[in-house]
Amino acid sequence: MIDTPSLVDHYCHGVLRTELGLGTFERHLAPGSAPPATGTTFFDTQTGFAVRRWCPPLLGLEAHCPPARYLARRRELGVLETGRRLLRASGIAAYLVDTGPSGDLTGPAELGATGDAAAHEIVRLELLARQVADTSGTVDGFLANLAEAVHGAAACAVAFTSVAGVRGGLAAVPEPPGPGEVRGAAGRWLARRAAGGAVDDPVLLRHLLWVAVGTGRPLQLHVGDRDPGALAGFAAATSGLGTDLVLLHAYPHHRHAARLAADFPHVHADLGPVVARTGARAAAVLAEFLELAPFGKLLFSSRARGLPELHVVAASVFRGALARVLGEWVADGAWSRTDARRVAGLLAEGNARRVYGLGAAA
């Protein structure tokens, strides 16, 4: 009833290029680095069950077949053909790819080609700063190069993303640090870091976010399990500057993220948590996002990384959840069918196209 013909995935990563055994595949089902507890498996999660529901049929197997049988079929087809079959079945028309620490993941161009879709780059600010630090000799040189690198990236990237910004002191002090404060922090950080060392100085992280805000490109902030209420100060400080903020991956505080999207015109909320890990519960979580957030402020993402299974599962789960939630409201008479179809299109791709300036669907 409520169709979502095409999707824009506004935050994801590339996929692995190597053949995978059962253990390696399992490890990629969970986002962290810890192994499963003794006596348990990551297949016994909503993500694991969702992969077993949606992916085997795309490779000619029965849904819910045992993981070992699925992995055998995957190797039989080869990693390239598997990726092609899965991604092309996802209905994703455009990928926005975080090219941060990529390991051996495919980049935007290769992901787009495999999936027969458009692809755009998201630049991770912390990585850019690290690269600039590795090649700069002085504090002044570093700060000048950093500004140049961020503005240069803004010319070709579709957005910036920051993983460490929220936990790195943004909550405590939302305003941009002064020039002297930034020079001091940069000097101390450059002096103590080894080559390749990550940006962990709160002043420098804030400086980095404010330089990015200055470019006008949308800025994605990884919220994770932090209370997004702590971001209200930064949202207020950046209000009216013309740069959009997108709160990424907020869970379990997604209702709070949705509320901020209602309170600030330039704040948007990512629907990734709906689909990335909640499987059979996706409709319920999606419905919670739809309580306070204006319908023009919510954006689909897969948050997939490494396995094309995660892209296709995200798309399938999201499409099913959207059809169920909006379909029920239409059946109840709470929403008109016309409105429901329009809102489905906004969440699936319209809002992302507007916020990231992607132009209309082909």
Binding residues for a copy of itself (CB under 8 A): 30, 32, 34-42, 44-46, 49-50, 52-53, 63-64, 225-227, 229, 239, 251-253, 255-256, 259, 262-266, 277-281, 284-285, 287-288, 290-292, 294-297, 329, 332-336, 338-339, 343, 346, 354
Give dist(CA 225, CA 23) in Å, integer.
27
68/141 Cα distance (integer angstroms) = 54
What's the min distance (Å) between Cβ of 50 and a copy of itself? 8
- Minimum Å distance from CB 87 to a copy of itself? 22
CB 236, min distance to a copy of itself, A: 10
Say how far apart CA 39 and CA 43 lie, in whole Å: 12
Minimum Å gap between C-beta 196 and a copy of itself is 23
Can you say how many angstroms the Cα of residue 135 is from the centroid of all Cα atoms in its chain?
28
Residue pair 158/96 in contact by the 8 Å Cβ criterion: yes
52 or 217, CB closer to a copy of itself? Answer: 52
| CA 34 to centroid of chain Cα atoms | 21
Cα–Cα distance between 221 and 245 in angstroms, integer? 7
Cα–Cα distances in angstroms (integers) from residue 325 to residues 14, 249, 289, 297, in the given order:
30, 20, 11, 17
Nearer to a copy of itself, 73 or 188 (CB): 73
Maximal CA-CA distance, the chain: 65
As measured in angstroms, the least distance from the Cβ of 23 to a copy of itself is 15
Is 34 or 156 the residue whose CB approaches a copy of itself more closely? 34
What SS3 class is residue 110? helix
Nearer to a copy of itself, 149 or 346 (CB): 346
Q: What is the DSSP string of 325-338?
A: HHHHHHHHTSS-HH
Nearest to 166 by CA among 51, 94, 242, 270: 270
Closer residue to a copy of itself, CB minimum distance, 36 or 169 = 36
Nearest distance, CB of residue 70 and a copy of itself, angstroms:
13
Q: Which is nearer to a copy of itself, 95 or 335 (CB)?
A: 335
When the beta carbons of 44 and 104 are compared against a copy of itself, the nearer one is: 44
* Contact assessment for residue 127 and residue 101, using Cβ atoms and an 8 Å cutoff: yes
Cβ proximity to a copy of itself, 181 vs 288, nearer residue = 288
Report, in Å, the least distance between residue 75 CB and a copy of itself: 23
Residue type, 7: L
User: What distance in Å separates the CA atoms of residue 51 and residue 69, rounded to the nearest whole number?
Assistant: 13
Query: Minimum Å distance from CB 292 to a copy of itself?
Result: 6
In angstroms, how far is the first alpha carbon of the chain from the final one? 23
